Amino acid sequence: MAFYVVQFLTGLASAASLFLVASGLSIIFGVTRIVNFAHGAFYMLGAYVAFTLTERFSGAIGFWGGVVAAALIVAALGVLVEMVLLRRIYHAPELFQLLATFGLTLMVEDLVVLIWGPSDLLGRRAPGFKGAVDFFGQNVPSYDLFLIGLGPVVLGALWLIFQRTRWGVLVRAATQDRDMVAALGVNQKWLFTSVFALGVFLAAVGGALQIPRDAVHHAMDLRIIVDVFVVVVIGGLGSIIGAFVAAVLVSELNAFGILIFPKISIILLFLVMAAVLIVRPWGLFGKPEVTARRTPGLTVNPWRPLSSKGRLAAVTALLLAATLPLFAGNYALTVGSEIAIFVIFAASLHFMMSVGGLASFGHAAYFGLGAYGVAFLAKMAGLPMITCLLLGPALALAGAALFGFFAVQLSGVYFAMLTLAFAQIVWSIAFQWVEVTGGDNGILGVWPEKWAASPSHFYWLAIGVAALAVAVLRNIVFSPFGYALRATRDSPRRSDAIGIDGKLIQWTAFVIAGTFAGIAGALFAYLKGSVFPDSLGISLSVDALVMVLLGGVETVSGAVVGAIVYKALSIFLVSQTDLSKLILGGVIVLVVIALPKGIVGVLETIRQRRRPRPEPPLLASRIGTAE
Amino acid sequence: MSTAPNLLSVVDLDKSYGGVHAVRGVSFALKAGEILALIGPNGAGKSTCFDMLNGQTTPSAGRINLLGQDTTYKKPREIWRLGVGRTFQITATFPTMTVRENIQVALASYGRRLFNFWASMPRLAQQEARDLLERVGMAGYAERPCGELAYGDLKRLELAIALANQPKLLLMDEPTAGMAPRERIELMRLTASIAREKSIGVLFTEHDMDVVFEHADRILVLNRGTLIAEGSPQDVRRNPEVRAIYLGEGLVYDARHREGQSA
């Protein structure tokens, strides 16, 4: 019995930091409508800066002074980021905001390693809370008790700020209707900046307070951000009390999940999240999103199937690509195969993101499931390669069918957060369930059979499958199904009023996209000869997003171009520098700010400008009668 | 017309949102080919009524019978399948498609071909789409991106989309809101002529009394959720209660007066 109580208390203590970070994210979202992906990075920075301050300068300001000073420093950094970066993208589609803040996260990850080194740092204990309290024979660290008390105190303080101060009233007003608040003469810029500062401050405090409990390391940002996303999805974005309740719930689930499913404790979390989403899609304390911004909206060029000239160009490009083995070495062919695989992966995400308006932040889950599917079939069942390639993606299909069903119940940022959380859950299963997946060691020895073993043969296989996949997906875009999918993206109200079952259409699109991602993953497993949990990781999901964005999210063929450019660039960068994340993050931020239409989008605009369409004669007379 | 069966019949429709009783015991019927206007001041419950007929809101009490079926708790798309077209107060179309493609999607949905993954949509049902555009006078706009259309044209496109399932009933929520006066009359004339020709029942809400009195066969007047008057335009215009709370005592539209002026 005492053991369970102690487990419960440990859960409550973990909830404190989680609540601090989640409430910060929620407050920022409430006012600015930005889901700050970089919130985990600020949390991590809080921990690192506090480590330095408490280790080096503890004489001057003491431990607690160090925690507060660290949070203030990070909050100041947050203000800088808000003023330099976020102010430029408040009106951009939310996908771009998520990506920009993710780019920031990547940069911070490399910077942290650069400054503090790659190894884990063990901080000191908090003065006054060094001991443990004996609890029916079990020890509970007294610092945990302090954290348990801190959560409600912060909740109360936030409540006071929002109810009793003028600033708090403005923030609440802006959360309900920020345009109205601006119309009333409130300086929106500084309101946004101050809200962002408070949110970042909370995240940094949350990070700083972790020092006595846990080692400081450079992956703690992604670990917390997934938990935080789960918390805000369950609690409801924008609700502080929701963040508190959900933080406790999630922490307790983590604490007790280990007792029930020791190997794959995360399943319990998934089940609870799924249950909440079915009953209350906007979280326990959240409100339904009123203004759903359309993800696209940068251009109104209607999509056209390829003309005969375009087809010819595509076939020529493919034939040229097929001649690569005649003059290139094995390394180039391996790189070529990898690029072809990523063309499939990017095209599959593009299909659901551009055509369906479903920006998945966890598309790697299905890539990885395809790869693991092949690995299971090849290693355990010993099936031939062709059979594995055909059946392996079925695992991705099944995963997409399961997760997609829940994900399409939501839209916009909720959809993005939920897909990310699902992907992270799949990753955790692959990582924790060592008996089946090999855990971190992966599954080795998934080699292609003789007919595809040579680099040139495998390369031809990869570009052949890629060409076929892209052609099939393109064809679906211009099929009635593709139009129905675009219709649900363009106007849910209208598509509902003409009998389109939007959720069913979106779910189907999710499954199609997942299956194609699985095909890419299946090839990838044979290319590398092995499968690791990395194939399901967040960074791979974001790679796909950047490829689509770089190519042009509002074009039909942007994903192909984006994948080729991005993959070639990143393979080159990784071979040249250790700071690939820093550069990549910088590239993402730059693309979002300077090139929101992507490469193909820019090319189309230029072509459009060169060929001005004749003004339709009817337009003039219409305007004449209008007033 | 009086012997025709009811297309739509509504009995004791009731809707409360928490403490607000938005619609109280509304009953009415609509016959094929009849144009029925639902009018009332802001907050009278018109939109709530519409949302219930359309399946977007479920009533707290009462029944809705559409084409012989109980549709009280049906979803919008099920109601659409029964043969109900609808237009919105703020137009809802597909801005990234061309005008013709907007119609083709509706036609494909009507023909239950949406789960076709292979056919080329731009080539599907071209003739039917052209006919519908012709009917609303937009044939020349077929290849224009829908996002570029002027507002009045969007309204006509919406009408064409609403006609794609060969509806027996059209639900039009403020069909002329946001349009210039001359365009309003044109759009309603067009709607009325299509309705008469195909014997489609039309239920519409409207704030413009010119439009209402010129085109409605019958008028329902809602106030604070209750039906306070029902009848021909003349009856409604003379009704003292309607005058007091809605039309006002001053200038009242009179068709003969207007015709005299314009003649």
Total structural domains within chain A? 2
Q: How much is the pLDDT for A195?
A: 94
Q: How much is the pLDDT for A443?
A: 93
For residue A487, list chain B residues with Cβ-Cβ distance below 8 A. 94, 97, 105
Q: Look at residue B179 and tell me if it is in a domain.
A: no
Q: How much is the pLDDT for A60?
A: 67
State mean pLDDT over A2-17: 88
User: Of A83-97, A482-496, B144-158, B201-215, where does mean pLDDT reach its minimum?
Assistant: A83-97
Q: How far is A477 from chain B (nearest CA, A)?
A: 8
Q: How many CA atoms lie within 13 A of A530 on its CB side?
A: 11
Distance in Å from the first CA to the final CA of chain A: 79
For residue A500, list chain B residues with Cβ-Cβ distance below 8 A. 77, 105, 109, 114
Q: How far is A400 from chain B (nearest CA, A)?
A: 18
Residue B120 sits at the chain A interface (C-beta within 8 Å): yes
Considering only CB atoms, A302 lies closest to which of B98, B117, B150, namely: B98
Residue A618 binned pLDDT confidence (cut-offs 50, 70, 90): very low
CB atoms closer than 10 angstroms to residue A79: 16
Q: How much is the pLDDT for A58?
A: 65
Residue B105 sits at the chain A interface (C-beta within 8 Å): yes
The CATH code of the domain that includes A250 is: 1.10.3470
Which residues 478-507 on chain A approach chain B with CB closer than 8 angstroms? Answer: 478-484, 486-487, 490-491, 493-501, 505
CB atoms closer than 10 angstroms to residue B31: 19
Total structural domains within chain B? 2
Which amino acid type is present at position A1? M
Judged by CB atoms closer than 8 Å, whether chains meet at B147 and A300 is answered as yes
Residues A267 and A393 in one domain: no
| Structural contact between residues A393 and A373, judged by C-beta atoms closer than 8 angstroms | yes
Residues A254 and A312 in one domain: no
Q: Which residues contact B48 (CB under 8 A, 6 or more apart)?
A: B15, B22, B23, B57, B225
Q: Look at residue B105 and tell me if it is in a domain.
A: yes
ipTM of predicted complex:
0.89
Considering only CB atoms, A626 lies closest to which of B116, B141, B152, namely: B152
State mean pLDDT over A21-31: 91
Summarised one tens digit per residue, pLDDT across range A215-266 is 899 889 888 888 898 898 899 888 899 999 999 999 998 888 878 777 667 7
Residue B252 has pLDDT above 80, yes or no: no
Q: Look at residue B249 and tell me if it is in a domain.
A: yes
Considering only CB atoms, A478 lies closest to which of B93, B122, B182, namely: B122
Residue B169 has pLDDT above 90, yes or no: yes
Residues A253 and A110 in one domain: yes
Residue B85 binned pLDDT confidence (cut-offs 50, 70, 90): very high
Residue A626 has pLDDT above 50, yes or no: no
The CATH code of the domain that includes B239 is: 3.40.50.300
Distance in Å from the first CA to the final CA of chain B: 31
Residue B113 has pLDDT above 50, yes or no: yes
Q: Look at residue B235 and tell me if it is in a domain.
A: yes
Q: How much is the pLDDT for A616?
A: 44
Residues A240 and A312 in one domain: no
Residue B1 binned pLDDT confidence (cut-offs 50, 70, 90): very low
Residues B10 and B62 in one domain: yes
State mean pLDDT over A397-417: 89
Considering only CB atoms, A501 lies closest to which of B77, B88, B118, namely: B77
Which residues 290-329 on chain A approach chain B with CB closer than 8 angstroms? Answer: 296, 300-303, 305
What the block records as the tokens of B259 is: 């015709």
For residue A619, list chain B residues with Cβ-Cβ distance below 8 A. 150
| Structural contact between residues A209 and A67, judged by C-beta atoms closer than 8 angstroms | yes
Dist CA A101 CA A90 (whole Å): 12
Residues B61 and B115 in one domain: no
Q: How much is the pLDDT for A57?
A: 74
Task: Tell me the pLDDT of chain B averaged across its residues.
Answer: 87
User: Of A46-55, A198-207, A246-255, A305-314, where does mean pLDDT reach its minimum?
Assistant: A305-314
State mean pLDDT over B243-259: 57
Judged by CB atoms closer than 8 Å, whether chains meet at A493 and B88 is answered as yes
| Domain end position, chosen among B166, B181, B214 | B166
Q: Look at residue B67 and tell me if it is in a domain.
A: yes
Residue A471 sits at the chain B interface (C-beta within 8 Å): no
Summarised one tens digit per residue, pLDDT across range A178-214 is 788 888 888 888 899 999 999 999 999 999 999 888 8
Residues A312 and A252 in one domain: no
Residue A296 or B63, more confident: B63
Residues B201 and B262 in one domain: yes
* Nearest residue on chain A to B80, alpha-carbon basis: A499
Q: How much is the pLDDT for A296?
A: 42
Chain position carrying tokens 């949390």 = A43
State mean pLDDT over A312-316: 91
Q: Residue A63: which domain range? A: 2-279
Judged by CB atoms closer than 8 Å, whether chains meet at B110 and A305 is answered as no
Residue A440 binned pLDDT confidence (cut-offs 50, 70, 90): confident
User: Of A190-204, A281-295, A354-368, B193-207, where does mean pLDDT reach its minimum?
Assistant: A281-295
The CA distances from residue A4 to A142, A206, A248, in Å, are 17, 25, 16
The CA distances from residue A607 to A297, A301, B249, in Å, are 19, 12, 61
Q: What percent of chain A has pLDDT over 70?
A: 94
User: Of A414-428, B27-41, B185-199, where does mean pLDDT reach its minimum?
Assistant: A414-428
Dist CA A449 CA A385 (whole Å): 6
State mean pLDDT over B20-46: 90
For residue B88, list chain A residues with Cβ-Cβ distance below 8 A. 493-494, 497
Residue A578 binned pLDDT confidence (cut-offs 50, 70, 90): confident
Of A105-109, A279-283, B210-214, where does the model show the most confidence?
A105-109
Judged by CB atoms closer than 8 Å, whether chains meet at B164 and A498 is answered as yes
Q: How much is the pLDDT for A322?
A: 93
Q: Look at residue B190 and tell me if it is in a domain.
A: no
| Structural contact between residues A491 and B157, judged by C-beta atoms closer than 8 angstroms | no
Which residues 176-235 on chain B approach chain A with CB closer than 8 angstroms? Answer: 180, 182-183
Q: Residue B242: which domain range? A: 1-84+196-263
Residues B75 and B204 in one domain: yes
Q: Look at residue A323 and tell me if it is in a domain.
A: no
State mean pLDDT over A2-19: 89
Q: Look at residue A119 and tell me if it is in a domain.
A: yes
Q: How much is the pLDDT for B3?
A: 56
Task: Tell me the pLDDT of chain A averaged across its residues.
Answer: 87
Q: What percent of chain B has pLDDT over 70?
A: 92
Considering only CB atoms, A305 lies closest to which of B106, B122, B165, namely: B122
Q: Look at residue A372 and tell me if it is in a domain.
A: yes
Q: Look at residue B55 and tell me if it is in a domain.
A: yes
Residue A461 binned pLDDT confidence (cut-offs 50, 70, 90): very high
What the block records as the tokens of A544 is: 């796909």
Judged by CB atoms closer than 8 Å, whether chains meet at A627 and B180 is answered as yes
Considering only CB atoms, A491 lies closest to which of B94, B153, B182, namely: B94
Residue A290 binned pLDDT confidence (cut-offs 50, 70, 90): low
Residue B80 sits at the chain A interface (C-beta within 8 Å): yes
Q: H or E segment at A294?
A: none
